[in-house]
Amino acid sequence: MTYRIWTAILFVTTAFLSWQSGGWAGFRLVEQEGIEESFRYSQLVANELKRYSPIPELMAEHPLMQQTLEFPSSDNLILLANEEMKSMATIVGSSDVYLMDAAGLTIAASNYDRESSFIGRNFDFRPYFYEALNTGRSSLYFALGTTSDLRGLYFSHPIRGQDGLVLGVIAVKVQVDELELQWQRPAKFNEAEMVVLDGDGISFLASKERWLYRNFEPGSGEPPVDIRIRQRYPSRTLTAMDIKDLGHPLGSSEKSRRIRILDEGVSREYLSILTPLPKLDWSLQVMISIRSVFWTQVRFLIAGLVIFLGCFQTWLYLRERYRREAELAERGEQLERRVTERTADLEASNRQLVDQIQQREKAQNELKETQRELIQAAKLAVLGQMSAGLNHEMNQPLTAIQTYARNSRRFLERGDTATVDANLGEITSLCNKMAELTRQFKVFARKSEGPPSSVDLRLAVDAALKIITAQDNSEAIRFEWPRPATPVMCHGDLIRVEQVLVNLIANAMQAVEEVDNPVIRIEVTESAQCWSCLVRDNGSGLPSDTEQIFEPFFTTKSMKQGLGLGLSISRQIVDALGGRLTGRNRRDGPGADFVLMLNKRGTVE
């Protein structure tokens, strides 16, 4: 709001100052023109005076003039004087030259042969006559010719006799119309008027004819009544001009004045410059129309307003730019602040993530460790479950070894060494069998370390079957194992694959416990990328939800028989090896099918 008020104030001030400056400049230009014109016309007038003023003096020196005055009755002398003056008038381009005696009577004249001749006329009332006569010096006067009614400049000089007394006066009259003709100023822009005023302020030269013989004294109102003046301009009314002095305008010098002239009902304003002319008490008044001042003011006003608008636009632009820059800087700062905040947030969440990742890694490591422990525990659990069966398996050969050893002693006492040797062979064979069995259990109980590599699936099945069949309850079961002739190489680890197979076969054995003709079949089949090992039984079959059996601690058995971890751990082992373990009920009869798929190399698709 405030800036609008300020803009309005500045606008008005600019307009006012522009208008004033325009006036100032306009008046200065007009005055300059007036001064130039004044100078030109005063020079013109001065030149004219200079041209004619020495002529009467020169003529006065002529002896003929003196003689004519001394002998005015001599017709011969008068004629000679007339002729002389006529030729002189022609030479100098003056209108009339004439000779007056001491009484003012014209005795000879250049126009002696014309009707309007001056001869015989008395001019003793004319100042140029009596001034020359009385002062004895040249005189100059302006007046309207009494005879011709033409404006003339009168140059006069006294003529002295031998004794030095003034005998008469010679006068030269010059018409002034020519001067006015030189006042034309066609190329000038401003309308201008000129008048030459005599000492009483009466115009006797004017650029406008109407303005001739007018009183230019401002505010005089009435024509002058002075008889002396009236004689100079006989038969002229000398009406006063309607002039109003408007004072001294701003921007012009002291000698310029602003005036308003009401002429023929039209009012016009001028800048008037009054210049005194040399020699006489005349003055030249140049009046230049001030109409151009108005247009100068308009131009200044327009220029001022254009500059104001330009400055205003620039100011608006700069203000907007500054505002935008400030806004951008503010936004930039905000952005930076936000980025800093976000960065701090990100760093915090990064730290959190790193912490979480570390915790996760730690948890995973712990989990892996736990799994390893769990697998080991499960293996030991399997071993524990098998220990009852193993007792029988171990006791049988031990009893046999005992029997063979006892018999051998007897046969040794008898000297039957051949039988002793045969018995010792049996004992060795039984010991080997027991050693093989314990080796299998030792391998099974070992913790598996290291990454998976290549394993022959046939060997894993062999080892698992050995462990399983070591139990006494396995005797009633028929194991079908069509062992492939060539190695079945899979991506895996012997101990871990063996553990999975032990689990699967052990479960199958438990499932067929109540069955009449129990059969467990292990079969290996090949596909494009992997080997599949099927463990099939004809037992009780799986509970309806087959996926549930892979969940930890899911069991349908008593605490003594199972923990519900076998299948869960087996699946984890197979997943870790990149294989797959699935279980479902048989389509062709009672019992379950478990399929262990192992990749030939890498992950099973």
- Supply the angle between the helices 494-511 and 457-469 in degrees, to the nearest 10: 50
Cα separation, 486 vs 332, whole angstroms: 75
Provide, rounded to whole angstroms, the least separation between the CB of residue 457 and ligand ADP: 20
Question: For residues 530 and 542, which CB has a smaller minimum distance to ligand ADP in the complex?
Answer: 542
Residue 323's Cβ-count burial label (10 Å; 0-12, 13-18, 19+) is: exposed
Interacting residue with ligand ADP among 228, 244, 557, 601 (CB under 6 A): 557
Cα separation, 324 vs 310, whole angstroms: 21
Interacting residue with ligand ADP among 249, 492, 518, 566 (CB under 6 A): 566
User: Would you state the structure tokens that stand for residue 152, as one six-digit string?
Assistant: 């003339």
- How many chain residues bind ligand ADP (CB under 6 A)? 23
Q: Which stretch binds ligand ADP (CB under 6 A): 30-38, 299-307, 440-448, 564-572?
A: 564-572
Q: Which stretch binds ligand ADP (CB under 6 A): 70-78, 124-132, 164-172, 549-557?
A: 549-557
Q: Are 195 and 209 in contact (CB under 8 A)?
A: no
Interacting residue with ligand ADP among 122, 407, 448, 540 (CB under 6 A): 540
User: For residues 280-309, which are near ligand ADP according to CB under 6 A?
Assistant: none
Q: Does 555 bind ligand ADP (CB under 6 A)?
A: yes
Provide, rounded to whole angstroms, the least separation between the CB of residue 351 and ligand ADP: 42
Give the CA angle between residues 4, 10, 16 to the nearest 5°: 140
CA atoms within 13 A on the CB side of 538: 13
SS3 category, 399: helix
Provide, rounded to whole angstroms, the least separation between the CB of residue 568 and ligand ADP: 6
Provide, rounded to whole angstroms, the least separation between the CB of residue 573 and ligand ADP: 13
Question: For residues 258 and 379, which CB has a smaller minimum distance to ligand ADP in the complex?
Answer: 379
Give the CA angle between residues 93, 94, 97 to the nearest 5°: 130
Q: Which stretch binds ligand ADP (CB under 6 A): 141-149, 223-231, 234-242, 558-566?
A: 558-566
Cα separation, 5 vs 29, whole angstroms: 36
Interacting residue with ligand ADP among 100, 301, 501, 508 (CB under 6 A): 508
Cα separation, 196 vs 134, whole angstroms: 28
Q: Does 563 bind ligand ADP (CB under 6 A)?
A: yes
Question: For residues 498 and 537, which CB has a smaller minimum distance to ligand ADP in the complex?
Answer: 537
Cα separation, 31 vs 292, whole angstroms: 12
C-alpha gyration radius of the chain: 76
Q: Does 539 bind ligand ADP (CB under 6 A)?
A: yes
Cα separation, 461 vs 456, whole angstroms: 9
Interacting residue with ligand ADP among 145, 484, 541, 590 (CB under 6 A): 541
Q: Which stretch binds ligand ADP (CB under 6 A): 175-183, 225-233, 258-266, 559-567?
A: 559-567
| Cβ neighbour number for residue 71 with a 10 Å cutoff | 12
Cα separation, 537 vs 291, whole angstroms: 131
Q: Does 542 bind ligand ADP (CB under 6 A)?
A: yes
DSSP β-bridge partners for residue 243: 261
| Cβ neighbour number for residue 26 with a 10 Å cutoff | 26
Q: Does 590 bind ligand ADP (CB under 6 A)?
A: no
SS3 category, 249: coil
Q: Does 224 bind ligand ADP (CB under 6 A)?
A: no
Q: Are 461 and 502 in contact (CB under 8 A)?
A: no
SS3 category, 73: coil
Question: For residues 272 and 570, which CB has a smaller minimum distance to ligand ADP in the complex?
Answer: 570
Q: Which stretch binds ligand ADP (CB under 6 A): 337-345, 354-362, 368-376, 537-545?
A: 537-545
Provide, rounded to whole angstroms, the least separation between the CB of residue 506 and ligand ADP: 7
CA atoms within 13 A on the CB side of 590: 12
Q: Are 192 and 287 in contact (CB under 8 A)?
A: yes
Question: For residues 469 and 540, which CB has a smaller minimum distance to ligand ADP in the complex?
Answer: 540
Q: Which stretch binds ligand ADP (CB under 6 A): 117-125, 440-448, 474-482, 500-508?
A: 500-508
Q: Does 562 bind ligand ADP (CB under 6 A)?
A: yes
Q: Does 479 bind ligand ADP (CB under 6 A)?
A: no
Interacting residue with ligand ADP among 456, 564, 582, 586 (CB under 6 A): 564
Element (H, E) at 9: helix 2-52
The sheet carrying 256-263 orders its strands as 203-206, 192-197, 283-289, 266-276, 256-263, 242-245
Q: Which stretch binds ligand ADP (CB under 6 A): 42-50, 335-343, 466-474, 557-565?
A: 557-565
Binding site for ligand ADP (CB under 6 A): 503, 507-508, 511, 537, 539-543, 549, 554-557, 562-568, 592
